[in-house]
């Protein structure tokens, strides 16, 4: 087993991680950070795959007191990351699937005391009111920093949306250490108060505050949303009382969540909501779009953000929904309007983003709804008379969806027009110049001809475009959009106060 590569400079001078041969360790020795081979279901039965252990829990805790399998190691469950697989496939497995007969790589040993930690403040050091200067690693004097105590994120889910001032500030300081790391000294992580978080949100976007959220261990197993039961992909900050339930039951209309089907049925007998709590601004066939204000529908939008966090790796903002408008795509039938997907949009974006977060629920993916959401966001940008682009970073599936939409839209326009400039394409599609240039470069449409760069369509590109167009079943009809860009006063844009 080859030792894994680490980018930390301090690790370059450390000895390689210890590797124990099979049979020299037992189930009790397996801890977070270890790498060993695990049985994984494959197309031809069970396969032996290398996996990293991220966390361990008692099996009876996960199964809520149900009988534990009698196989060796089944008293524990392990959360594993499969090497060379997407993170969304991380999962809890029974300890009986660990191959203790094969070699195991132990976590990298911690550095010797004092090495690589000059100038760092120990966690238990008390900082005086007037801190003295300390020596940094480069020998220059830098002020000492107070150490923040790491607390889990806390927030309220209450039906009283108007008493917003009663909510306390949320501690967004997050441990940046990898699971299983044994280093005992580290730099204090940045602390964001709610006021600072809102200011950062309004100036730099909503999806990039706490990138280490993606390292959190998945806490939900499955969600039941209406008649669909789906598996959660990532960690979502639901209250800890709901963590590790076999199934979390969610009302598909008001998005409230319950630990049992009986409680959900009792709620449905009282819940009279049959569509998202906003204005219907588009209707075509059985598809409708609703506009929901995050300030007016605080609890509903928070519940929506909690659901979306189960399927978006980079989404980190889920408690402060007031700065956003939410556009919900639904499918209508005799029972109501069922959510297919949504995108959120900042009320005031300094970067002219037209999408902050976009998601098609897993049970509705691969039906073309993602492109429909993207197309609708650009129709709103056309109504506003602005160029728009999605907020970065995009998820892997989001990036694929946007690339496909940009290519399809630009090629369709170029096919019907003999001569167009980049600026003319931008004005007709509301796609930014940078996104147009990136798309044309990716498709190799930009050629050098007589001392100038021109956009040239090839037969292979057109053939691929025709196949893509033939697959599309739905398109947004601009004449069905009944919407005017909302205008907000200064008081309405003072979020969180």
Within a domain: 204: no
Please choose, from the candidates 376, 387, 405, 341, the residue with its C-alpha nearest in 3D space to the C-alpha of residue 477: 376
The CATH code of the domain that includes 53 is: 2.30.30.140
pLDDT at 153: 38
Residues 6+ apart with CB under 8 A from 139: none
Within a domain: 163: no
What pTM does this model have? 0.72
Tens of pLDDT along 191-211? Answer: 545 455 444 433 333 333 344
Within a domain: 441: yes
String of DSSP letters for 317-353: --S--TTEEEEEEEEEETTEEEEEEEEEEESS-TT-E
The CATH code of the domain that includes 408 is: 1.10.10.10
- Provide the phi-psi class of 119: left if phi over 0, else alpha when psi is between -120 and 50, else beta: left
Within a domain: 192: no
Q: How far is CA 16 from CA 1, 5, 12, 25, 108, in A?
A: 12, 10, 9, 19, 7
| Distance in angstroms (rounded) separating the CA atoms of residues 491 and 468 | 46
Within a domain: 193: no
Within a domain: 387: no
Within a domain: 457: yes
Last-in-domain residue among 51, 74, 105: 105
Please choose, from the candidates 75, 314, 89, 366, the residue with its C-alpha nearest in 3D space to the C-alpha of residue 206: 314
Q: Provide the annotated active-site residues.
A: 391
Domain range holding 462? Answer: 404-475
Give the angle 342-348-352 at the CA atoms, nearest 5°: 80
Last-in-domain residue among 62, 84, 105: 105
Can the peptide bond before residue 50 be classed as cis, meaning omega within 30 degrees of 0? no
Structural domains in the chain (count): 2
| Distance in angstroms (rounded) separating the CA atoms of residues 492 and 255 | 26
Within a domain: 459: yes
CB atoms within 10 A of CB 41: 10
Residues 6+ apart with CB under 8 A from 145: 121, 127, 131, 188
Question: Partners of 446 in the beta sheet?
Answer: 455
Last-in-domain residue among 79, 105, 131: 105
Q: Per-10-residue mean pLDDT for the chain, 497 residues long?
A: 47 76 91 93 92 84 47 81 88 91 88 54 40 38 37 37 34 32 41 48 38 65 94 90 90 96 96 96 96 94 94 75 94 95 92 93 93 96 94 83 94 87 93 94 86 85 89 91 89 65
pLDDT at 161: 38
């Amino acid at each position: 087993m080859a030792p894994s590569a680490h980018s930390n400079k301090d690790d370059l001078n450390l000895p390689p991680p210890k590797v124990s041969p099979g049979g020299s360790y037992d189930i009790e020795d397996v801890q977070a950070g270890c790498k060993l081979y695990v049985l994984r279901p494959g197309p031809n039965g069970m396969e032996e795959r290398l996996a990293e252990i991220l966390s361990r829990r008692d099996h009876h805790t996960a199964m809520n007191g149900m009988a534990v399998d009698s196989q060796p190691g089944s008293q524990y469950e392990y959360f594993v990351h499969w090497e060379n697989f997407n993170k969304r496939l991380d999962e809890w497995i029974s300890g009986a699937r660990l191959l203790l007969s094969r070699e195991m790589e132990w976590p990298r040993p911690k550095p010797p005391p004092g090495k690589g930690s000059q100038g760092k403040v120990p966690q238990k050091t008390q900082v005086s009111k007037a801190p003295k200067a300390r020596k940094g690693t480069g020998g220059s004097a830098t002020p000492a920093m107070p150490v923040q105590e790491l607390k889990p994120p806390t927030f309220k889910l209450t039906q009283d949306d108007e008493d917003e001032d009663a909510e306390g500030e949320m501690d967004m300081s997050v441990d940046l250490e990898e699971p299983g790391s044994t280093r005992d000294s580290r730099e204090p992580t940045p602390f964001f108060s709610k006021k600072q978080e809102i200011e950062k949100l309004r100036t730099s976007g909503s999806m990039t505050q706490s990138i280490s959220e993606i390292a959190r261990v998945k806490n939900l197993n499955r969600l039941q949303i209406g008649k669909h039961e789906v598996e959660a992909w990532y960690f979502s900050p639901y209250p800890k009382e709901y963590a590790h339930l076999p199934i979390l039951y969610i009302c598909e209309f008001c998005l409230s969540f319950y630990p049992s089907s009986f409680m959900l049925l009792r709620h449905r007998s009282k819940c009279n909501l049959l569509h998202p709590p906003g204005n219907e601004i588009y209707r075509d066939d059985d598809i409708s779009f609703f506009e929901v204000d995050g300030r007016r529908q605080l609890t509903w939008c928070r519940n929506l953000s909690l659901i979306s966090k189960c399927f978006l790796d980079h989404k980190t903002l889920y408690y402060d929904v007031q700065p956003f408008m939410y556009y919900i795509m639904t499918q209508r039938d005799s029972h109501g309007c069922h959510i297919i997907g949504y995108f959120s949009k900042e009320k005031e974006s300094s970067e002219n983003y037209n999408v902050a977060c976009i998601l098609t629920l897993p049970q509705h993916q691969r039906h073309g709804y993602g492109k429909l959401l993207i197309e609708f966001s650009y129709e709103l940008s056309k109504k506003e008379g602005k160029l728009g682009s999605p907020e970065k970073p995009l998820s892997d599936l989001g990036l694929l969806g946007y690339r496909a939409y940009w290519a399809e839209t630009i090629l369709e326009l170029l096919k019907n027009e003999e001569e167009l400039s980049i600026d003319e394409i931008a004005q007709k599609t509301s796609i930014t110049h940078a996104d147009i240039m990136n798309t044309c470069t990716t498709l190799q449409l930009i050629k050098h001809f007589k001392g100038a760069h021109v956009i040239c369509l090839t037969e292979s590109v057109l053939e691929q475009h025709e196949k893509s167009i033939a697959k599309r079943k739905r398109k947004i009809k601009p004449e069905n959009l009944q919407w005017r860009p909302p205008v907000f006063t200064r008081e309405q844009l003072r979020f969180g106060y």
